[in-house]
Chains A and B, each alone.
Chain A
Amino acid sequence: MTARPVDPPTPATPATPSTPAQPVVEERPTIVMCPEGPMLLRGDAVIEDADGNRHRTTRPVSAVCRCNKSATKPWCDGTHKLLPKKLRP
C-alpha cells in the first residue's frame, strides 16, 4: 500500500461565491408511484406478496407491479400497457 500523496494546496476561496448555474436539486424519493404504471422502489428491500412469499430486490431501482396483471409479480413486466387506460393504476 502506498502512502497517500499530500494534497495540493487549496486555492483561496473567492470572496463572492459564483451564482449556482442550476437550481438546487431536491433529494430524490425512495418510492415513486408512476401514473398508470408501477411503483418504483429504490434500494434493497424484501417484499412479501399476497400469498406470503418473500422476494428480495435484485437491482438498485425496482418496479413493483400495481396493475396486478404482471406475469412476474411482484415485479412489473410492462403488462399495464396492454390494459385499457381505465384499468391501469
Chain B
Amino acid sequence: MLLPKARGTLSEQLFTALREEPGTAVALSATSVDVADDAEDRAIALWASYELHYRGFEDVDDRWEWSPDVLRVRAGLEEALEAEVRERYAAHQPERTDDLAKDLFDYVADHDGPSMARYVQTEATEAQVLELLRQKSVYHLKEADPSAWVVPRLPTGPKAALMELQFDEYGDGNPARLHQHLFERGLEAAGLRSEYGAYVDEATLPVLESNNVQSFFGLHRRLRAASLGHLAAFEATSSIPSRRMAQGLERLGFPDEIADYYREHVEADAVHEQLAVRDICVPLVELEPALADDVFLGAFACLDTEDRQARDLLDRWGVEA
C-alpha cells in the first residue's frame, strides 16, 4: 500500500515528512494537531500514523513507526479523538446492575441506530452495495487485528478467551478461512480490488474514525477494556445484520464468495458475542473492577461509529433511516 492522499495541511505535512529518510526530516517540528484544517485532515493523518504499526506503506521507511516526531503528532490527534468519544459517551451512560453480561447485552440491544443491513436486504441497488463494500473493506481487510494488540495485556482467563475468539477470526489455523481472506475473495468475486487499503482514498470520515478508534483502543494498554467492549458490541451486532446482508447480496445476484463472507459471520458471531461478553469482558471486570466503565465506553464507541458510517452513506443515497 502507498500512503493515502493528504486531505489538508496536517496530513500534507505529515505525509511529506514520511516520504523522507527518518531522522533527517526537520519538517515535522512545526507540525501538530493545531495545523489541521478539519476532521478529515486529522482522521487521515491519524489513520496513516496507525498503519505504520500494521502493514506500513511501500513509500515509507519502516523506521518511522517509532519516530518520536510521529508519535508526538499522533498523541495530539489521539487526545482530540478521545475527548470527542468521551463527550459523546457521556450522553449514553449505561444502566448498571450486578450482572455485567446482561447489562452489556441490554446496552447493545437498546441502542437505536439506522440499519444498513436492513436497507441492503430489501432495497439497496447494486451500485450502492458496491460502494458499501469498498467502504467496509478499509476495516474488513484487517478485521480482528486491532483487538490482537490487547492479548499480552490481559490476565490469564480473559487472555485465553480472547485467543479462543481470535483463533476463529484468523481461520482456526487455516488461511483459507481467515475472515480477512474471505472478504478479499468476496471483493475479487464482486469485481473489486482486494489489496489491503485499496479504497482508503475514498473512505468517508466516519469510516476513518471507526478504524482509528479501534486502533486507538487496541494500542493503548490503559484502554484495553474499551478495546474489548468494542469487540463485544461489534460481535453482538453482527449475526442478524450479517444474515440480512447475505440475503441482500443474493437478491442482487452478487457472487457466492461475498455472500459467504456474511454467512460465515452469522454463525461465527453468534459464538463470538457470547465469548466476548461472558468469557472476556465479565472475567476481566471481575479481576479489575475499575475497568467496567471502559467496557461500556468501548461498546458505545462501536455502536456510535457504526451508526455514523451507516447514516453518512444512507444520507448520500438520499435514504430516510
Query: Which A residues form the contact surface with B (CB < 8 A)?
Result: 21-23, 25, 28, 32, 34-38, 40, 59-63, 71-72, 75-79, 81-82
Contact = CB atoms under 8 A, between A and B. Distances in A.
Given A25-B157, A59-B172, A77-B240, A34 B267 contact: no
27 contacts: A21-B155, A22-B156, A22-B287, A23-B287, A28-B279, A36-B105, A38-B270, A38-B274, A40-B271, A59-B172, A59-B267, A60-B167, A60-B172, A61-B164, A61-B168, A61-B271, A63-B270, A63-B274, A76-B271, A77-B239, A77-B240, A77-B267, A78-B239, A78-B240, A78-B273, A81-B109, A81-B240
Contacts of A61: 164, 168, 271, 275
Contacts of A78: 238-240, 243, 266, 269-270, 273
Contacts of A38: 270-271, 274
B274 A37 contact: yes
Contacts of A25: 156-157, 160
Contacts, number: 70
A81 B108 CA distance: 11
A86 to B, nearest CB: 15
Interface string B245-273: 00000000000000000000011111101
B136 interface: no
Interface of B: 101-102, 105, 109, 155-157, 160, 164, 167-168, 172, 238-240, 243, 266-271, 273-275, 278-279, 287
A78 B172 CA distance: 22
Closest 4 CB pairs of A and B: A78-B239, A76-B270, A63-B271, A63-B270
Contact of B271 (A62, A72, A79, A82): A62
A35 B156 contact: no
B156 A77 contact: no
A61 B243 CA distance: 20
A62 to B, nearest CB: 6
B270 A77 contact: yes
Nearest to B165: A61
Q: By CB atoms of chain B within 10 A, which of A21, A25, A63, A72 has the most?
A: A63
Contacts of B156: 22, 25
A35 B243 CA distance: 23
B272 to A, nearest CB: 9
B236 to A, nearest CB: 9
B274 A72 contact: no
A22 B168 CA distance: 26
A61 B269 CA distance: 11
Contacts of A37: 274
Given A62-B271, A63-B274, 18 more contacts: A21-B155, A23-B287, A28-B279, A59-B268, A60-B167, A61-B168, A61-B271, A62-B267, A63-B267, A75-B267, A76-B267, A76-B270, A76-B271, A77-B240, A77-B266, A77-B270, A78-B240, A78-B270
